Amino acid sequence: MSETGPTFTVLLDATRAAGTQTLRGAVESVRAQSDDDWELVVVGAPGVSAEELRALGAGDPRVAGRPSAAAGEVLEQLNEAITQASGTFLVLLDPDGRLVPTALATLRDDLAGDVDLLYADEEWAGPEDDAPTVFCKPVWSPERLRGHLYTGRPVVLRTELVRELGGYRPQHEQAREHDLILRVGERARDVVHVPQVLHTTLGPGPARFSPDRVASDEAVGVERDDASWRAGRAVVQDHLDRSGILATASLGKAPGTYRIIRRADPEVLVSVVIPTRGGQGLVWGQARCFVVEAVASLLERGGHPNLEIVVVYDDVTPQYVLDELERLAGRFLTLVLFEGPFNFSAKCNMGFLASSGDVVVMLNDDVEALTEGFLEQLVAPLAEPGVGMTGARLLYADGTVQHGGHIYDQHRFFHGFLGADPQDRGPFSELCVNREASGLTAACVAFTRETYEDVGGMCELLPVNFNDVDFSLKVRHQGGRLLWLADVELYHFESRTRVPQVHQWEVDLITGRWRVDTGDSYLPAIEPEGH
């Protein structure tokens, strides 16, 4: 231990401890650390006397304890422990949690500079015959944190900042950690994710992280009586209000998750650019002209009053299709003729140049909106600092998932959760919450005019494949976060059996432009099917 005090104060909130045996395991996991620069404070163990708390430490002077707190006193004891902590950083621990022996030493290596918040991967030890469930967490994802408390264990907070924020707040006691992490995240100078499993929880993982289906209506009715879930909704709403985000938080599709419904400025002009050849096909047994139906659903379910629709059409587009678009969209419509060989990127760039909105949406012609007000939800986050682009949850005609965000992994580029059942939560609720993503499909994305100009638009050297990968990486390179929005849903009538023809020169071009030779930063545990 240094002369100025230890690096770490491990704060073990023992209010849920099931006796001293479980608690002893957590204490021993701290005492077994290869790094000895720590102190441990055990708070509020029910039914455990001061003598028993001292015995847990086996005479180790670095272990201190406070006896069981009466109802309503737990937060006082936790905040007192924070006030008296000697460590530069707080490490939060539960009675059923176990730090791996090298946890503190590993965490210390990443605490240089201005790091105020740090978290690492974890596992849950299930029944003896089952392999542990491992949660490989994303890099810092403030949007996902609004949707659920994904940081889990271990989590490390700079003590001084927690004190400045007033520690735990009594009005949010039942969701106290989510409240604290959100407030620290708002103020943190730097946040670090350590991609190593440094913590084990005894027993199965929390229900909110179960890779199971979305709860039935009946089950959700029961689960929504859970006080901590409802308390968490209030915490997220408080955070949104404090952050100046015009949005409402509500209970999500899985326990412990939350939906964020935003409101866009109705005065902002939104330009929707739709490239088309006027193609037709069968959907649900009915013939349709794709671009006509796409525009019809945009007008019916867009939900944003200040709208411009720019249709970039090839010279093979039938005149009656253009006439029908004029009839449907009237004064909202701008038609732009594209001549030359097919180049999706060039068509997008031409449509952008013909548009005038401060916000632009690229939309494929073979889509149909499901979500009422989808356009407002899609564009609203762009008013927030740091958001570079947004994208939607896209479904095949049979309801299965077509796009859950791009995944970029070891020079492979693919759609996340391709073919997933519409009722799947996804592992760790990843299909239930808005979250940051490595990339988004250009079939439905929104961005500001400034962003598109800053990155130079779509790369016309990539006329068919990887143009949206390149565009996503350019936006991220400029510092923009890409948000995949779980509750903005559209059908995308691309065939499930379609296998895109990818040429080696396209692969060489995208991998030459961008180094993507590591695992995905935001969905590190997802593997593609058939790739």
- Residue 215: the pLDDT is 47
* 25 CB-contact burial (10 Å; exposed 0-12 / middle 13-18 / buried 19+): middle
**Same domain for 296 and 161:** no
**Same domain for 418 and 322:** yes
CA gap 164, 54 in Å, rounded: 30
- Residue 15: the pLDDT is 80
Instruction: Tell me the whole-structure pTM to 2 decimals.
Output: 0.93
> Domain of 295?
270-513
**Same domain for 229 and 306:** no
Residues of the chain where predicted confidence (pLDDT) is lower than 50: 215-222, 530-531
**Same domain for 125 and 28:** yes
- Residue 258: the pLDDT is 98
- Residue 51: the pLDDT is 75
- How many domains, in total, are found in the chain? 3
**Same domain for 232 and 187:** no
**Same domain for 241 and 275:** no
- Residue 500: the pLDDT is 75
- Residue 299: the pLDDT is 97
**Same domain for 250 and 203:** no
Task: List, in sequence order, the alpha helices (H) in 119-226.
Answer: 142-147, 159-164, 176-187, 217-223
**Same domain for 444 and 414:** yes
Cβ contact 458:429 at 8 Å: no
Pairing mode of beta strands 115-125, 190-202: parallel
- Residue 72: the pLDDT is 63
- Residue 216: the pLDDT is 47
Task: List, in sequence order, the alpha helices (H) in 423-487.
Answer: 449-455, 467-477
**Same domain for 392 and 348:** yes
**Same domain for 438 and 303:** yes
* Tokens 């947004």 -> residue: 390
Average pLDDT, the chain: 91
